[in-house]
Copies of this chain bind each other. A is one copy, B any other.
Amino acid sequence: MPPRYEVIGIEGIPEIRPGDDVARLIAEAAARQATPLAPGDCLVVGQKIVSKAEGRIVRLADVTPSPVAEALAPGLARDPRLVELILRESRRVVRMDQGVLITETHHGWVCANAGVDQSNVELDCVALLPQDPDRSARQLRERLRALAGAEVAVIVADTFGRPWREGLTNVAIGLAGFAPIRSYLGERDPAGRPLQATILALADELAAAAEPVMGKLDRIPAALVRGLALAPGDEGSKPLLRDPARDLFR
């Protein structure tokens, strides 16, 4: 039997509000479409609905921009209150040029606008990334175990750009229940030579795999990756953070 797996979008998840039980709403939607969560599934959830449930939505009218945000905003052609939120969510500015603001978030992810996003939230509001996406993933996993009796892996995902290549890809910003890196270190190829290119970012590949069925417009904020055997792990997404000392692009 060849190795194979399936990716299934979960339709019918309602608009999420602060305090909603996202795990239950996802499990119910999956069951309604006759693909109930099953042990061994990996659930990929878009960051936006997690942020909404966790109340990480901010009304711009409630934000007072700092003098720094006021000073930077014109060069970025952005609302100073939005710039203020991006700076608050950041540990460091990595690049600021051509109207693009790339920062390192407090979690350690490098991305545009610290992940602060205005799409698919109410007008005059923006969504921040979850405060601790690994914790969010862990809580979803635990709640799904309680609700559905199923041991599932969970990825909280967002679409990030990257240098050199056009287009965003979905990546893991938080996860629970599996090891996000697959390593071939120490393995040898058929000629007996140690394998190169030996550390694969499996969690990012699974987040990417889920994206094509997660419609931005047709409200499919979650997907199941079904049929892959994942290695256990309890470090969350931390192994995906590159050690700054080994990063040539900081």
Contacts and interface: CB of A to CB of B under 8 A. Distances in A.
A193 to B, nearest CB: 6
- The complex is assembled from copies of this chain, and their number is 2
A8 to B, nearest CB: 4
A131 interface: no
B248 A201 contact: no
A244 to B, nearest CB: 9
Contact of A5 (B122, B190, B212): B212
Interface in A1-60: 1-11, 33, 35
Given A97-B248, A189-B120, A193-B118, A241 B5 contact: no
Q: Which 3 A-B pairs have the closest CB atoms?
A: A167-B201, A209-B209, A163-B249
Interface of A: 1-11, 33, 35, 95, 97-98, 100, 102, 109-110, 117-123, 159, 162-171, 180-181, 184, 187, 189-193, 195-202, 204-206, 208-209, 211-213, 215-217, 220, 228, 239-243, 246-250
